[in-house]
Amino acid sequence: MTRNGIITILIVLVILLGIGYFISTRTETNNLDVTVVTPPATTPPATTPPTPTQQRAAPVVSTDNGATVSNSTAVVTGDVNPKGSQTSYWYEYGKTTNLGSKTSAQIVGSSHNVIPATGYITGLTPSTKYYFRLVAKNAVGTTNGNTENFTTHATNPPPAANAPTASTVAATNVDRESATLRGSVNPRSDATSYWFEYGTTNDLGTATSLKSAGSGASAQDVSASVSNLTPNTKYFFRINAQNDFGTVNGSILSFTTAGPAAMSEPTVAIEAATAVTARSATLHGSVTPNGADTTYWFEYSTDSLVGNVLGTATPEKTISAGAGASDVSAALTGLSPSTKYNYRLAARNSQGTVRSEVMSFKTNGN
């Protein structure tokens, strides 16, 4: 084979090897592209479940050990948690663990609070051992407390006192998210506690903390402030009072929190000026805060270019968030005689600033 033939064969081999390498590289590149373009399966991010609201359940009860006794009576105590449903309680008692007698039922409401539950047992035999337990019932179920015991005395007489009286009184200081609940309590000569229940239905459901009404023999005014209410919502409430001789419930009254349900920028309206003289006038308008503390003022000027900010403003004043539409005014002095003044009402809260349309008046001549 000639030298030229060998060279030709080598060139052909190099060309064939180059074609093979190109094909191999394209295949690998295509496979790599497929791997990159197709995304791997992903796991959705974990979500945190919402916090469950308190559910209604059968009441939880606990009977206290021991009692305050005389020769014919006993004051027994325990605790009841209504667990969100209207709950009544009573004490069962007897000379054996079979019990057999019970006190009259008393109501402690429907909150999720632990409420003291006193019972006054009468008609007992002196120097006798009795067994007793606290029982509570609501729409979900009935719960028996643990059984305890006491022994009556031989001679000492029962105490001279009575269950308290309680009356619910109209709420005051009602705002968008708060109110003052009011009532009247007569302890009737025994240490008495009181609390309020409230809620958006007659079932109530929320209770204030217990407070002392003392141990006097006359009625006294009591109150409790509640907050975190929902704006523009009707609430029902009542007072409850309790001493060693019983638990009593006031009547259920209602109030409606101020609106609106959600905050928005204030609403303003301008009115005609009054008491116009050569050098003074009184501006008038109305402002509705719409759920947020609102500041208002009047702007006035001889400038007729109402698109610009007017040159002078009255001092700023504030209206509380819970107020409805309020009439407002401002007295102007030091004006120029025989001069036309343009004026408008402005108001600002956390949701925005608004201005009324422009009105005008002309001062009197000298």
Q: Do domains 56-159 and 267-362 have the same CATH topology?
A: yes
Supply the CATH classification number for the domain 56-159: 2.60.40.10
Assess whether pLDDT exceeds 50 at residue 45.
Answer: no
Across 301-330, average pLDDT = 82
Which pLDDT value is given to residue 48?
36
Supply 184's token pair. 């009247």
Sequence-distant (≥ 6) Cβ neighbours of residue 32 within 8 angstroms? none
Of 27-36, 133-142, 266-275, 327-336, which range is least confident? 27-36
Q: Closest Cα partner for 237 from 81, 110, 61?
A: 110
Which pLDDT value is given to residue 40?
39
Structural Rg of the chain based on CA atoms: 40
Three-state helix/strand/coil letters over 263-302: CCCCEEEEEEEECCCCCCEEEEEEEECCCCCEEEEEEEEC
Give CA 291 to chain center in angstroms: 15
Assess whether pLDDT exceeds 70 at residue 4.
Answer: no
What DSSP element (H or E) covers 256? Answer: strand 253-256
Per the CB < 8 A criterion, the answer to whether 193 and 212 are in contact is: yes
Which pLDDT value is given to residue 324?
82
CA distance 340 to 94: 92
- The residue extents of the domains of the chain are 56-159, 162-258, 267-362
Amino acid at 188: R
> Which class in CATH covers the domain with range 267-362?
mainly beta
CA distance 55 to 346: 48
Across 68-92, average pLDDT = 96
Indicate the Cα dihedral angle 27, 32, 37, 41, nearest 10°.
Answer: 130
Which pLDDT value is given to residue 1?
52
- Can you name the CATH fold of 162-258? Immunoglobulin-like (2.60.40)
Centre a 10 Å sphere on the Cβ of residue 192 and count the other Cβ atoms it contains.
27
Which pLDDT value is given to residue 267?
95
Q: What is the pTM of this model?
A: 0.69
